[in-house]
């Protein structure tokens, strides 16, 4: 092992494949010259060095901090987003995963946005845009006496730019397009991805507010306002437009929806920079124009401890969790200064607000260790309590840094000052953790377990290899119902709920994402959102036979329960889609040609080699 530290990584074979393919440094001949211990030490040293470079820490202090950063990563208690793991200490590439770029209504600004997005994605970032300021299609252009192409053509142009970019040579571009429901071209936007494969590298979301949602409930009309003139140019039925959104989501998962007024309730301190009108590609990070945010996630599964108690609270190592939150906030704040920014405007804005996004992963793994079903009131209560604790600890850690280093610079321009001088304008985010959760060997984000077993054909050896959720495998063997036939059935898509001779408590605890109702998915998202100052990336998975009414209810519930956005996906709703458990996707394929590709939180990823599309963390 190429490390000076005593603690060495203990990673799964799948994690090693992922790291070897996408993360380890390579020489000019593309030969791997790094291992997992070396990677974690490289990252820890680069981020800890900021304490000396910017804040005058002594060498011994930097050395101790490096060890602390290394230890929490090598023990898989915390991992930063992928760009940080890939690029820290290399003097190339961005360390942030999330960006929102401004998009104004002129040819110069549109092409500037396209150029900046190319530079951001070249170095590993995902970009979000708001189309809301682009004048409607057919509007007159005074300077050329022509007609405007409209926001959909602008979106297609940005998509073509993204198609040219392979991010850092390691992954495809990821993007989000948001349009206000009050824009005159909103109907065209809602349907712009109705044809499968169109604008494939963008997720799309409609931005609404409580006023619109109330009009939906009363079947009233709302105005369409041209952004270039601020004139009302038409009226639409709120219910009809909402139904078009629902029909699109039912048909193929798009568009999603974001609740902009709720998002901007947490934007009070930086109001002088304007409202947030877009998010990053997976929707969890609302940002101002030219802001970026670096993310990192705590693996909750690692903080389970045995206890002789009936109270779940005693099964969490809160002391160690608090230490990890403090270290993670310190780490993420340092990333802002260690970063290499592709565009100076992004550097200026990011350093003005110093937003960070500490989140979690492995929540479903913690629940199965606690023997608590994901789709239960108790699980929602546990999730909310843990997130409240992490949010409070993160706030305190940022306050402490603010006392040592000063508050984020935009604070001085704010007219809405509260008594706390935070180092970071926002602190907490729940990201999808697509690939880093595979490295950590845990469930992604706050998602439930996606599958209990899956299989992969080893063509060279002529064998079928079974991969099983480790917690489920242990329970199955302890309870005496483990068998090859069971694994075969589960890996072929059979539900545990339909099988005989399985203890009822096991069926309840090991419920998988497709077996959880849309109401239960939304309720879990809402339980966490209360304690998250940014957003949450979560997919509301629906069965293929889910109705349009089911989607309608999910979107309405998300608003009523206080979520900041919602994305659903109905299994089997795309011809060229990702199918799990023995089925082969006909359009998307990973590096290892696996039969197990999964769709979670707007991302598509392989459980074996870590290939992913539209995954930024």
Give the CA-trace dihedral at 119, 123, 126, 130, to 10 degrees: -10
Distance (Å, whole) CA 448 – CA 323: 26
Contact 295, 97 (CB under 8 A): yes
Cβ contacts of 292 within 8 Å, gap of 6 or more: 94, 96, 98, 99, 125, 339, 341, 346, 349, 350, 355
The catalytic residue among 282, 426, 606, 609 is 282
Contact 54, 406 (CB under 8 A): no
Sort strands 98-100 and 126-130 into parallel, antiparallel or unpaired.
Answer: parallel
Q: Name the E strands within 302-452.
A: 356-361
Sort strands 221-226 and 292-299 into parallel, antiparallel or unpaired.
Answer: unpaired
Neighbours of 6 (CB within 10 A): 7
**Residue 556 is encoded by which pair of tokens?**
């309405």
Q: Is 282 a catalytic residue?
A: yes
Cβ contacts of 539 within 8 Å, gap of 6 or more: 447, 567, 568, 569, 599, 600, 601, 602
Q: Answer positive or negative: Cα dihedral of 559, 561, 565, 570.
A: negative
Neighbours of 124 (CB within 10 A): 26
Sort strands 175-180 and 171-172 into parallel, antiparallel or unpaired.
Answer: unpaired
Q: Is 280 a catalytic residue?
A: yes
The C-alpha angle 348, 97, 536, rounded to 5 degrees, equals 110
Neighbours of 459 (CB within 10 A): 8
List the one residue out of 394, 419, 422 whose CA is nearest residue 406: 422
358 - beta bridge partners?
A: 296, 428
The catalytic residue among 284, 447, 520, 615 is 284
Report how far Cα 585 is from the mean position of its chain's Cα atoms: 23
List the one residue out of 270, 403, 292, 304 whose CA is nearest residue 357: 292
The catalytic residue among 280, 299, 334, 557 is 280
Q: Which residues are catalytic?
A: 280, 282, 284
């Amino acid at each position: 092992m190429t490390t000076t530290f005593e603690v060495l990584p203990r990673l799964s074979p799948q994690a090693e494949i992922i790291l070897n393919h996408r993360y380890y440094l390579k020489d000019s001949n593309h030969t791997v010259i790094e291992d997992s211990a070396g990677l974690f030490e490289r990252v820890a040293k680069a981020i800890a060095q900021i304490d000396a470079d910017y804040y005058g820490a002594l060498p011994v202090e930097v050395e101790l901090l490096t060890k602390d950063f290394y230890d929490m990563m090598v023990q898989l208690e915390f991992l930063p987003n992928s760009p940080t793991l890939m690029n820290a200490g290399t003097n190339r590439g961005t360390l942030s995963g999330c960006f929102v770029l401004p998009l104004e209504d002129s040819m110069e600004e549109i092409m500037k946005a396209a150029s900046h997005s190319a530079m951001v994605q070249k170095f590993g970032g995902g970009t979000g845009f708001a189309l809301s300021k682009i004048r409607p299609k057919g509007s007159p252009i005074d300077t050329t006496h022509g007609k405007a192409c409209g926001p959909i053509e602008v979106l297609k142009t940005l998509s073509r730019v993204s198609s040219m970019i392979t991010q850092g040579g390691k992954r495809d571009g990821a993007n989000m397009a948001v349009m206000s429901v009050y824009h005159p071209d909103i109907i065209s936007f809602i349907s712009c991805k109705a044809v499968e494969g169109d604008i494939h590298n963008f997720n799309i979301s409609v931005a609404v507010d409580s006023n619109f949602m109330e009009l939906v409930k009363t079947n009233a009309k709302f105005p369409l306002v041209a952004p270039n003139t601020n004139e009302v140019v038409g009226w639409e039925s709120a219910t009809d437009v909402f139904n078009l959104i629902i029909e699109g989501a039912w048909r193929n998962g798009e568009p999603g929806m974001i609740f902009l007024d709720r998002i901007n309730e947490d934007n009070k301190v930086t109001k002088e920079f304007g409202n947030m009108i877009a998010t990053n590609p997976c929707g969890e990070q609302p940002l101002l124009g030219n802001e970026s945010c670096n993310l990192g996630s705590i693996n909750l599964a690692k903080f389970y401890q045995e206890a002789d108690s009936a109270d779940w609270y005693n099964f969490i190592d809160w002391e160690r969790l608090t230490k990890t939150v403090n270290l993670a906030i310190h780490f993420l704040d340092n990333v802002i200064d260690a970063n290499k920014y592709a565009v100076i405007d992004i550097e200026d804005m990011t350093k003005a607000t110093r937003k960070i996004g500490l989140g979690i992963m492995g929540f479903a793994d913690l629940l199965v260790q606690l023997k608590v079903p994901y789709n239960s009131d108790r699980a929602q209560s546990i999730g909310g309590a843990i997130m409240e604790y992490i949010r409070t600890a993160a706030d305190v850690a940022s306050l402490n840094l603010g006392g040592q280093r000063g508050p984020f610079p935009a604070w001085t321009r704010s007219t809405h000052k509260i008594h706390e001088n935070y180092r970071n304008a926002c602190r907490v985010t729940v990201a999808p953790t697509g690939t880093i959760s595979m490295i950590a060997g845990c469930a992604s984000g706050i998602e439930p377990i996606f599958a209990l077993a899956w299989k992969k054909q080893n063509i060279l050896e002529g064998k079928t290899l079974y991969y099983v959720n480790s917690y489920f495998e242990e329970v199955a063997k302890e309870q005496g119902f483990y068998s090859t036939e069971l694994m075969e059935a589960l890996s072929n898509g059979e539900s545990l709920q339909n099988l005989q001779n399985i203890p009822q408590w096991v069926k309840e605890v090991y419920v998988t994402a497709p077996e959880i109702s849309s109401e239960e998915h939304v309720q879990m998202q809402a339980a966490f959102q209360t304690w998250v100052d940014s957003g949450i990336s979560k997919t509301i998975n629906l069965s293929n036979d889910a109705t349009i009414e089911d989607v309608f209810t999910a979107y309405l519930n998300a608003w009523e329960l206080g979520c900041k956005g919602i994305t659903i996906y109905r299994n089997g709703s795309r011809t060229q889609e990702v199918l799990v458990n023995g089925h082969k996707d006909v359009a998307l394929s990973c590096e290892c040609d696996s039969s197990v590709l999964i769709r979670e939180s707007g991302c598509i990823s392989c459980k074996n080699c870590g290939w992913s599309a539209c995954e930024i963390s």
